């Protein structure tokens, strides 16, 4: 259960809090991303932390080091448990984020490559000198050298990141889909099942639509938690 983080990717604070109330105690925490944060702001984070929830703030900070450091300090003041920055922001930005968090602040995990992208997209971005998996590993290694706690990557890259960065490096994995959902059926392209992601070495799974759009979100979360049980 602790490994399962539910993405509250909804369009209102009321709906987010209703989902959190239903799922609290059955999942490991809640992700607040761009959609919810844009409509609800810091208040949604404070409301969740007030209830004792672990909040994963997924705003993917990507700016100059000083600006990102300030954003991390603000997140720490709100009680955020873990947050994302973009690995492509570079070593100095990543280092500034970790230093701003300090030892008592939120965990910092670096986004490597969005799960909606594939090899063709990488080529369109002008990244042609190495395969997608090698690019993801290089970004994860950059994050590790900068001292951040871990990386965010699709299920397809978990094993190679784990091999490159070792057992203590945190790997957060979105793109979790049931077996019944075909590859490429939505905008997540590099996907896998929860069981295979955990077997590959993921520390945390971020799951949104398969839970929050289910007829019974609690039943869906319990089913996933059973898969993750040791």
Catalytic residue positions, numbered: 60
146 SS3 class: helix
**Beta carbons of 57 and 83 less than 8 angstroms apart:** yes
Structure tokens at 66: 């000083």
């Amino acid at each position: 259960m602790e490994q399962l983080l539910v993405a509250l990717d909804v369009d209102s604070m009321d709906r987010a809090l209703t989902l959190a109330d239903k799922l609290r105690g059955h999942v490991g925490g809640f992700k607040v991303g761009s959609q919810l944060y844009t409509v609800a702001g810091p208040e949604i984070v404070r409301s969740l932390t007030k209830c004792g929830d672990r909040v994963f703030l997924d705003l993917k900070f990507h700016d100059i080091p000083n600006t990102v450091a300030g954003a991390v300090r603000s997140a720490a003041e709100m009680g955020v448990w873990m947050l994302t920055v973009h690995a492509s922001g570079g070593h100095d930005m990543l280092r500034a984020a970790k230093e701003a968090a300090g030892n008592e602040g939120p965990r910092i995990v670096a986004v490597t490559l969005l799960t909606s992208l594939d090899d063709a997209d990488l080529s369109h971005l002008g990244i042609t000198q190495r395969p997608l998996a090698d690019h993801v590993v290089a970004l994860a290694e950059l994050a590790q050298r900068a001292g951040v706690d871990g990386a965010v990557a699709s299920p397809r890259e978990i094993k190679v990141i784990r091999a490159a960065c070792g057992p203590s490096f945190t790997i957060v994995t979105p793109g979790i889909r049931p077996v019944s959902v075909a590859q490429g059926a939505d905008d997540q392209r590099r996907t896998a099942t929860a069981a295979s992601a955990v077997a590959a070495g993921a520390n945390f799974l971020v799951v949104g639509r398969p839970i929050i759009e289910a007829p019974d979100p609690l039943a869906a979360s319990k089913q996933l938690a059973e898969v993750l049980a040791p």
